[in-house]
């Protein structure tokens, strides 16, 4: 259950990145901040590209005792020695995935829907992610509001992740009611990802 302890940080890769340079950018952030987990979230459906990226980033993460999970590609978890999978369809495939990967980290993105989150929790997810919490032109405009996180942190044991268009103001607001902040393009779209991350997290003290 979320308490007043400082939320942990969960990094998300960009949907596209240069394999020649990104592992070094990632390593600099992992070395400069305390990171709980990395989600490999490539948009490509090119299997070779996903495999090469997963191989490179797994080495970067595991050398620093950081867990690495992959978005959607359930079949690659065991094959590539990853720590788990992040499901983007809420609870829909969770029961089967939990059966197939009994020891893996399994997370479920549940949009802004309390019911979907509860279903995912009942079916064995290790965390539920709600978002976006910040305004974004993408998606359907619905936001995961503070009340949802407050209710979850009081009522549900499963850890909760806040993600999507985060700002320092939102980090300050949601800090008391979330277990993790997932940060991706908020830092990778800048020239100095580590300092941007530290600025975003400054309100946490």
pLDDT digit string (tens) for 29-63? 999 999 999 999 999 999 999 999 999 999 999 99
The per-residue pLDDT of the chain, averaged, comes to 95
* Domains defined along the chain, listed by start: 8-204 (3.20.20.70)
pLDDT digit string (tens) for 92-131? 999 999 999 999 999 999 999 999 999 999 999 999 999 9
pLDDT at 4 over 70: no
Alpha carbons within 13 A on the beta-carbon side of 86: 23
Is the torsion defined by CA of 7, 10, 14, 15 positive or negative? negative
Q: Name the residue among 178, 59, 56 with its Cα closest to residue 128.
A: 178
Distance CA 155, CA 170 (A): 22
- Whole-structure pTM value: 0.95
Q: Name the residue among 40, 39, 31, 34 with its Cα closest to residue 7.
A: 34
């Amino acid at each position: 259950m979320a308490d007043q302890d400082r939320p942990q940080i969960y990094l998300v890769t960009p949907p596209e990145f240069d394999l020649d340079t990104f592992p070094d950018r990632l390593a600099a952030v992992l070395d400069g901040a305390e990171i709980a987990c990395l989600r490999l979230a490539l948009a490509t459906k090119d299997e070779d590209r996903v495999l090469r990226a997963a191989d490179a980033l797994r080495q970067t993460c595991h050398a620093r005792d950081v867990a690495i999970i992959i978005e959607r590609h359930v079949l690659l978890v065991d094959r590539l020695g990853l720590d788990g999978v992040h499901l983007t369809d809420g609870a829909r495939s969770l029961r089967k995935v939990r059966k197939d990967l009994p020891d893996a980290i399994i997370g479920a993105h549940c949009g802004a829907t309390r019911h979907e989150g509860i279903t995912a929790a009942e079916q064995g997810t290790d965390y539920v992610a709600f978002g976006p919490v910040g305004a974004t032109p993408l998606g359907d405009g619905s936001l995961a509001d503070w009340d949802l996180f407050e209710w979850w942190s009081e009522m549900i044991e499963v850890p909760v992740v806040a993600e999507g268009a985060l700002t320092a103001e939102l980090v300050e607001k949601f800090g008391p009611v979330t277990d993790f902040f997932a940060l991706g393009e908020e830092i990778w779209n800048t020239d100095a990802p580590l300092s941007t991350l530290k600025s975003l997290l400054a309100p946490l003290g």
